[in-house]
Amino acid sequence: MVRIRIAEKHDGHAWDEFVTGHGLSGPFHLFAWREAVGRAYGHTSRYLVAHNDAGAIEGVLPLILVKPPFLQGYLVSLPFCDYGGPLARSPEAAGLLVRRAAELARSSRSKLEIRCAGPDTSMQAAPSLGPVSHKSRMLLDLPGSATVLWDSFKSKLRSQIRRPQKDGMEFRMGSADYLDHFYHVFSTNMKELGSPVHARAWIASVLDAYGGRAHVGMVYRGAEPVAGGVVIEHRDTVTIPWASALSAYSRSSPNMLLYWGFLRYAADNGFKRFDFGRSTPGEGTYLFKAQWGARPEPLSWYVEGNADAQDAAAKPGRIRQAVASVWSRLPGDVANALGPRIRGYITL
C-alpha cells in the first residue's frame, strides 16, 4: 500500500537520491530548492513523499506555500522556477500525491498550482486543475566538446560571440565570489525591465544550498561587470535560471559571450543538454535562445479555477504592464529596497 506524508528535513538525503535517479527530474526538484526558499523568504514547504509498506520512496511532490499578507495563498510546485511537479514510480503514487496536494490547498485556503515540464495525466486526480501552456523550455543538445559545438554554429552566430571579445570583454566562471557583481547587474537590469528584483539573500541561498552544483558566470570589461548569470547542474543537464546584461553595453552584446561561456563549460564537462529556461514563443528571448539551436519543449502548468481564470493566468495583464512602466521609473535605491519585499510573493 502507498501512503503519503510530509517530508521533514532529515528526509533530504533519501529525497535527493530518489530525485537524482528519476529520469524526468530537474534541479528544482532537489531538496536544495526547499532549503533556499525557506532561508531567503521564509515560505513554508509541504514536500510530499509517497512510500510503500517497506518505507521505500515511491514518489515525491515538492510544494511551497506562498502566502502574501492579507491575501489568499498559493500552494505551488514550484515557485521561482519553470517546473516542479510529481515524480513517481507508478501512476498510482503520482495520483495520490496530486490528490493530497489538493487536500492541503483546501485546508490552507490556498490555490493550487502545479508546474510540470510536460503534460501529466496524474493531474486528473485533482479535477479543479486546468492546463496553462503558453511558454516553452528551450533545450539544446550538446556534443562531446565545445570545439564541436562551435563548429556547428553559423558564421553569423560566431561573429556575434567574437564581438564582445573584440571590445575587450572576457568571461569568468566562479560562484559566491562573484555574487555581488552578479547582483549589481541583475538588479540594474530588473529595474529597467520594470520588475521587482529577487533578494540578494535568495541568490546567496541558492548558491549555498546547491554547493558545487551551482555556479556564477560573469562577463567583464576590464574590472567592470557587464553581464552575469547563474547555472545549476543536475544529472546530464546544465540549467540557467537567471541571466542579465547591462543595457549600456548592449552594442557589444556581452550576453552572447556570457551564454557561450556557459555552453562551452557544459559541453567540455560532459553534460548532454543545456536548458535555456522558459520563453514565450515568438518573443525576443525565445528568438535569442533559438539562434543557438535550442528546441522548444512546451511547459504544462496546471492551475486551479475555471477556464476563464486559467486563460487569464496564461497572459500578462494590463495591470502588470502598467506596474512595470511605473517600476522602471523608480530611483535605483528605492527599487532595490522595495523589490525583494514584493518579489518573494511573486511565484514566477
82: DSSP letter: S
Model pLDDT, residue 307: 46
Nearest CA among 303, 55, 271, 23 for reference residue 143: 271
Q: How far apart are CA 315 and CA 320, in angstroms?
A: 10
**Tens digits of residue pLDDT in 188-236:** 999 999 999 999 999 999 999 999 999 999 999 999 999 999 999 999 9
Q: What was the pLDDT predicted at 305?
A: 73
CA 127 and chain centroid, separation: 26
d(CA 163, CA 316): 34
Q: Which residue ranges make up each domain of the chain?
A: 3-135+300-315, 137-298
Residues 6 or more apart whose CB falls under 8 angstroms from that of 196 comprise 190, 327, 335, 338, 339, 340, 342, 343, 346
Residue 205's pLDDT is: 98
Residues 207, 216 contacting (CB under 8 angstroms): yes
> pLDDT value at position 330?
80
Q: Would you say domain 3-135+300-315 falls under CATH 3.30.360.10?
A: no
H-run or E-run covering 158: helix 155-166
Q: Rounded to whole angstroms, how far apart are CA atoms 114 and 87?
A: 12
- The pTM for the full model equals 0.94
- DSSP single-letter state for residue 195: -
Cβ contact 31:65 at 8 Å? no
pLDDT at residue 310, as a whole number: 47
Would you say 251 and 36 are in contact if contact means Cβ atoms under 8 Å apart?
A: no
**Cβ atoms within 10 A of the Cβ of 86, count?**
26
Q: Percent helix, strand, coil in the chain (nearest 5)?
A: 45, 25, 30
Where are the strands (E) in the chain, listed by range?
3-6, 44-45, 48-51, 57-61, 64-66, 73-77, 87-88, 110-116, 129-132, 136-141, 169-174, 214-221, 224-234, 237-245, 273-279, 295-298, 300-304
**137-298 carries CATH number 1.10.8.420:** no
Phi, psi (deg, nearest 5) at residue 6: -90, 130
- Residue 15 and residue 57 in contact, taking contact as beta carbons nearer than 8 Å: yes
DSSP symbol at 70: T
C-alpha to C-alpha distance for 170 and 134, rounded to whole angstroms: 35
| pLDDT, one tens digit for every residue, the chain (348 residues) | 899 999 999 999 999 999 999 999 999 999 999 999 999 999 999 999 999 999 999 999 999 999 999 899 999 999 999 999 999 999 999 999 999 999 999 999 999 999 999 999 999 999 999 998 789 999 999 999 999 999 999 999 999 999 999 999 999 999 999 999 999 999 999 999 999 999 999 999 999 999 999 999 999 999 999 999 999 999 999 999 999 999 999 999 999 999 999 999 999 999 999 999 999 999 999 999 999 999 999 999 999 874 455 454 445 445 455 566 667 788 878 778 888 899 999 999
CB 301 within 8 A of CB 265: no
Residues β-bridged to residue 276 = none
Q: Pairing relation of β-strands 73-77 and 87-88?
A: unpaired
C-alpha cell at 121: 495525466
Taking the C-alpha atoms of residue 77 and residue 75, their distance in angstroms, rounded to an integer, is: 7
